């Protein structure tokens, strides 16, 4: 058993640190209003849309990330990617989360960037969608959740009906990350079968200016970069047959094949965030004195840090084991869900402990802890809620 990090991960982490120092940090200094205490007011306009100055920064970092080879790092070489495996991607993701909030989150493009779901593209779609996406020229979004169905997304109300050689999509999606800015959406709609069938759902590539497709309300989300998520409407939205991604009726199953990697990335990101908060807290506990003694020498404080350090190590080993299994072609449903479940809890616990150790200073916006406290909460909800992870684990057991 080898617990050392793959040498590729070590190299990428080093290269990313240099990239952030050279390309991202100067932008963070120049546009510090987007990271300060009022970031939520500065980033968006009155309609909660991100302002052009902020969008330009995101796009500039994306372009530089493409040139440096980070952007499509996890995609296969045949489509211009770096062919980095799941374990390496996750270790790099942990490293990237182990720093204060900043513009570095744009380096990998998040939910709007390259995704393996698009490996199902045919030759024409590769040229029109995947290649410009890999080059950072356009972005996408993953439109599955609806107001009526999230955890049970395969009960969706959105339909697509065949009319000659066109499909007519009708329905509504919500909470869609990068929805307001995506050049095209990957939209899931029922094309046959009954409510709840996993089959009978098709994925369509819908351009932002396709008649019948409209961005709806931009959501106001807790602790996240504002202006990122929105509703999407499809009112008799007609697309040609050539806009079907992969096979008709098989879109849901193929998308689900890629979900596991996302869960591992969330667990890895949680470990990075928790490590960042632990390190801050240890440093503070070494310095802060009350009753003529460092608070770090009180068990009330040091035991909280000991528990957190133990939980971090547990989740780190768990996500790495899950990633290793996936990279070796083994079934890892249970381990992916376990890592996501415990990772989400870890991120929340870490923010809570860091705030407690810092007392009033942790509660104020001068330190990044309160932002982490708010942004951690979503980890228990998206990419499958806690309860859905437990459901998956239980199903694998029983």
Ligand X SMILES: Cc1cc2nc3c(=O)[nH]c(=O)nc-3n(C[C@H](O)[C@H](O)[C@H](O)COP(=O)(O)OP(=O)(O)OC[C@H]3O[C@@H](n4cnc5c(N)ncnc54)[C@H](O)[C@@H]3O)c2cc1C
Binding site for ligand X (CB under 6 A): 111, 141-145, 150-151, 175-177, 221, 224, 229, 378, 381-382, 385, 387-388, 391
What secondary structure letter does DSSP report for 246? Answer: S
Beta carbon of residue 160, minimum distance to ligand X (angstroms, whole number): 16
Active site residue 383: yes
Beta carbon of residue 273, minimum distance to ligand X (angstroms, whole number): 16
**Residue of 28, 40, 42, 383 with catalytic role:** 383
Beta bridge partners of 188: 203
What secondary structure letter does DSSP report for 331? Answer: -
Percentages (nearest 5) of helix, strand, coil residues in the chain:
55, 15, 30
What number of H helices and E strands is found in the chain? 14, 10
Nearest residue to ligand X, using CB? 150
Nearer to ligand X, 93 or 150 (CB): 150
Beta bridge partners of 354: none
Backbone angles phi, psi at 75, to 5 degrees: -85, 155
Beta carbon of residue 285, minimum distance to ligand X (angstroms, whole number): 32
Alpha-carbon gap, residue 187 to 82, rounded angstroms? 27
Nearer to ligand X, 288 or 391 (CB): 391
Nearer to ligand X, 48 or 64 (CB): 48
Give the helix ranges, DSSP H, for 192-332: 251-256, 259-287, 299-327
**Residue 289, both tokens:** 């004195």
Beta carbon of residue 167, minimum distance to ligand X (angstroms, whole number): 19
**Residue 227, both tokens:** 């202006």
Nearer to ligand X, 155 or 321 (CB): 155
Nearer to ligand X, 150 or 269 (CB): 150
Beta carbon of residue 26, minimum distance to ligand X (angstroms, whole number): 29
Nearer to ligand X, 304 or 392 (CB): 392
3 state SS of 87? helix
CB 234 within 8 A of CB 172: yes
Q: Which of 371, 270, 355 is nearest to 311 (CA)?
A: 270
Quick one: 182 exposed, middle or buried, by C-beta within 10 A (0-12, 13-18, 19+)? buried
Beta bridge partners of 140: 184
How distant, in Å, are the alpha carbons of 204, 234, 390 from that of 198?
Answer: 16, 22, 20
Beta bridge partners of 289: 294
Q: Which of 258, 323, 210 is nearest to 114 (CA)?
A: 258
Nearer to ligand X, 117 or 353 (CB): 117
Beta carbon of residue 373, minimum distance to ligand X (angstroms, whole number): 16
Beta carbon of residue 145, minimum distance to ligand X (angstroms, whole number): 3
Alpha-carbon gap, residue 162 to 239, rounded angstroms? 10
**Catalytic residue ranges:** 383
């Amino acid at each position: 058993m080898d617990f050392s990090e793959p040498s590729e991960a070590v190299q990428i982490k080093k290269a990313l640190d240099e990239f952030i120092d050279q390309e991202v940090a100067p932008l963070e200094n120049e546009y510090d209003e987007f990271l300060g205490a009022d970031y939520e007011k500065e980033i968006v306009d009155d309609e909660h849309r991100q302002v052009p100055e902020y969008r330009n920064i995101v796009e500039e970092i994306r372009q530089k990330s493409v040139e440096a080879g980070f952007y499509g790092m996890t995609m296969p070489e045949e489509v211009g990617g770096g062919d980095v495996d799941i374990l390496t991607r996750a270790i790099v993701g942990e490293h990237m989360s182990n720093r204060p909030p900043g513009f570095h989150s744009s380096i990998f493009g998040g939910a709007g960037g390259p995704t393996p779901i698009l490996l199902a593209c045919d030759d024409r779609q590769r040229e029109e969608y995947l290649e410009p996406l890999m080059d950072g020229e356009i972005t996408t979004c993953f439109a599955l959740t609806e107001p009526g169905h999230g955890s049970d997304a395969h009960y969706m109300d959105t339909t697509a009906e065949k009319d000659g050689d066109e499909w007519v999509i009708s329905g509504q999606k919500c909470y869609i990350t990068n929805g307001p800015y995506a050049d095209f959406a990957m939209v899931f709609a029922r094309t046959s079968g009954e409510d709840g069938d996993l089959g009978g759902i098709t994925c369509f590539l819908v351009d932002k200016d396709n008649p019948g497709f409209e961005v709806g309300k931009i959501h106001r989300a807790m602790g996240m970069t504002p202006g990122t998520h929105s509703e999407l409407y499809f009112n008799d939205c007609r697309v040609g047959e050539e806009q079907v991604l992969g096979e008709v009726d098989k879109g849901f199953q193929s998308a689900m094949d890629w979900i596991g990697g996302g869960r591992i990335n969330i667990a890895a990101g949680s470990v990075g965030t928790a490590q960042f908060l632990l390190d801050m807290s240890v440093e503070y506990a070494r310095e802060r004195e009350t009753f003529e003694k460092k608070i770090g020498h009180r068990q009330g404080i040091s035991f909280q840090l000991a528990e957190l350090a133990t939980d971090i190590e547990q989740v780190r080993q768990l996500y790495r084991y899950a990633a290793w299994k996936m990279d070796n072609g083994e079934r890892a449903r249970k381990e992916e869900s376990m890592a996501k479940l415990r990772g989400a809890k870890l991120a929340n616990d870490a923010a809570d402990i860091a705030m407690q150790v810092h007392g009033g200073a942790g509660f104020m916006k001068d330190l990044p802890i309160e932002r982490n406290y708010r942004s951690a909460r979503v980890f228990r909800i998206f990419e499958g809620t806690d309860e859905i992870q437990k459901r998956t684990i239980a199903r694998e057991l029983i």
